Structure 1
Amino acid sequence: MDAPAQSVAPTASVVVDGVTKRFTLRHARSIKDMTVRAVRRQSLSETFNALDDVSLTVHRGETVALMGVNGSGKSTLLKMMSGVLSPDTGTVRVRGRVAGLIDVGAGLHPELSGRENVFLNAAILGMEEAEIRRKFDTIVEFSGVERFLDNQVKFYSSGMFMRLAFAIAAHTEPDIFLIDEVLAVGDPPFRDRCLERIRELRDEGRTMVIVAHDIRMLTRLCDRGIMMRSGRKIFDGDVEEAGAMWKEDRQARRKAQGTDALPSAVR
């Protein structure tokens, strides 16, 4: 996804300018529900801002942690950057090839085999056929799904989906790599391989924006943290400070739900 050269500053990979995104929350899911709510004069739906006037710039070569508890708007913002969603107001501009892993198995066609999906998904991400053929064995070896390569991916486990999708995206040599929680799926050895590949891309100067609840991992990988709360950007700076704010929000939510202890993985 390439933006016109004049629309993005030379050192900027992603520019988010005054972005707002609204969604409609429907309260009635059946005719009965609609009737009951109408009799009680209750609204059938309401709108809310998933993103509220968010602005930020990610510069070329930065590795940015996008943090926030569930419902903060971080995943919606990442989808804006990837082009999956469009803002209601404001603009999102990017420069360079974007590879986005914003869902487990994102971009994989369930009726096609793993082999066919390598070619399809890599082409969608901007790779030429010759480049795909050159990297094919490396992608398959990294994914670890060789044995099931000619099976339809609808029969893959969620871990196998993630392995193949990550392997393809991580070998497209993207200028901008967007990652949303995909490392939460899969066995520890494969997660370690994914992290090593992310470090390689970072050291090559790729721009990365990462969403994850593993704050320890984010603070080790990233050099900048952006904290989201209720659809607004409330902090942009030191990744350790952003991580501390995330823990405070997480702790407050858990107390409100009646549980005080944080899981050890996110302490």
Structure 2
Amino acid sequence: MTESVVDYSEQPLAVEVDDVTMIFNMASESLTNLKEYFIKLAKHELFFEEFRALKHISFDIHRGEVVGLVGTNGSGKSTMLKIIAGVLEPSEGSVKVHGNIAPLIELGAGFDPELTARENIYLNGALLGYTKEFIDANFDGIIEFAELQNFVDMPLKNFSSGMVARIAFAIATITEPDILIVDETLSVGDVFFQQKCEARIQHFIQSGDVTVLFVSHSMEQVERICQRAVWIEKGDLRMDGPVDEVCKAYREQFN
């Protein structure tokens, strides 16, 4: 956990989550292939059941806050982050985001495995809104942070998932965003690179201007990085408060 607790209530809002519900339609029976799916769909023999991944979730995050989302697997944490990042539209409710977002979600998902690391840096940078001139100026810094100087012109299909994540993290954090969204990013790669990523996140936090939303299954990591935690369990908002109190309550459910 950070050394001091700061009152952010007077800071402007960075994220407003208002009564968000997310509903997915799931096939009521298990199908083994796409052909079976389309045959049943054409014959009107396929039925769907509603799955509510999130149920009427509301919370606000002020500028500069570092907030961890905790909960067991399948509880809706990553769905919530994707809605905030604009990847998903909520079924009900609304989310307002004030500022630019660096979403570290499913790192490398937009990369082309047939292209080289160099080509993917320019491609991914363009998707994030960076100009070619900006990438030119920061290219060496991206490669240096990712520690992949000897693999710049190798096709990404030959990279490990950890190497891909290194490049994606380096690109997304080359500048200081208004809002940084981190979903299990630090679980990818070796322990030394995890520490390097965490150090960069801590640098953003210490600037006081970057809002951070962080998901991890490691309560120790959440307590070390975050000041506040939001506990979502099976789609319900269970608790929202100081990180030590929320993590203590979360641990107690397993005792």
Q: Calculate the TM-score normalised by the size of structure 1.
A: 0.82
In the alignment, structure 1 residue 29 sits paired with structure 2 residue 27: no
Contact 1:125 1:172 in 2 (8 A): no
Where 1:58 maps in the other structure, the secondary structure is strand
Where 2:54 maps in the other structure, the secondary structure is strand
CA 1:129/1:43 → structure 2, altered by over 3 Å: closer, same or farther? closer
In the alignment, structure 1 residue 97 sits paired with structure 2 residue 100: yes
Contact 1:28 1:45 in 2 (8 A): no
In the alignment, structure 1 residue 14 sits paired with structure 2 residue 15: yes
Q: Calculate the TM-score normalised by the size of structure 2.
A: 0.86
Instruction: Find the counterpart in structure 1 of residue 114 from structure 2.
Output: 111
Contact 1:65 1:226 in 2 (8 A): yes
Between the aligned partners of 2:32 and 2:188, the Cα distance in structure 1 is: 34
Between the aligned partners of 1:188 and 1:180, the Cα distance in structure 2 is: 17
In the alignment, structure 1 residue 239 sits paired with structure 2 residue 251: no
Between the aligned partners of 2:250 and 2:243, the Cα distance in structure 1 is: 10
Between the aligned partners of 1:43 and 1:234, the Cα distance in structure 2 is: 34
Number of aligned pairs? 237
State which drifts further: 233-242 or 123-132: 123-132
Where 1:90 maps in the other structure, the secondary structure is strand
1:47 corresponds, among 17, 42, 50, to: 50
Where 1:18 maps in the other structure, the secondary structure is strand
In the alignment, structure 1 residue 206 sits paired with structure 2 residue 226: no
CA 1:10/1:202 → structure 2, altered by over 3 Å: closer, same or farther? closer
What aligned pairs does 1:31-180 form with structure 2 within 5 A after superposition? 44-180=47-183
Alignment RMSD: 2.3
In the alignment, structure 1 residue 194 sits paired with structure 2 residue 197: yes
CA 1:246/1:43 → structure 2, altered by over 3 Å: closer, same or farther? farther
In the alignment, structure 1 residue 226 sits paired with structure 2 residue 227: no
Between the aligned partners of 1:223 and 1:245, the Cα distance in structure 2 is: 15
- Structure 1 gaps of 5+ residues are 1-8, 35-41, 253-267
Q: CA deviation at 1:94?
A: 0.8
Amino acid at match of 1:197: R
Large movers: runs of 4+ above 4 Å: 30-34
Between the aligned partners of 2:204 and 2:236, the Cα distance in structure 1 is: 29
- Structure 2 gaps of 5+ residues are 1-9, 38-44
Contact 1:104 1:158 in 2 (8 A): no
Amino acid at match of 1:229: E
Q: CA deviation at 1:44?
A: 4.4
Contact 1:66 1:210 in 2 (8 A): yes
CA 1:109/1:12 → structure 2, altered by over 3 Å: closer, same or farther? farther
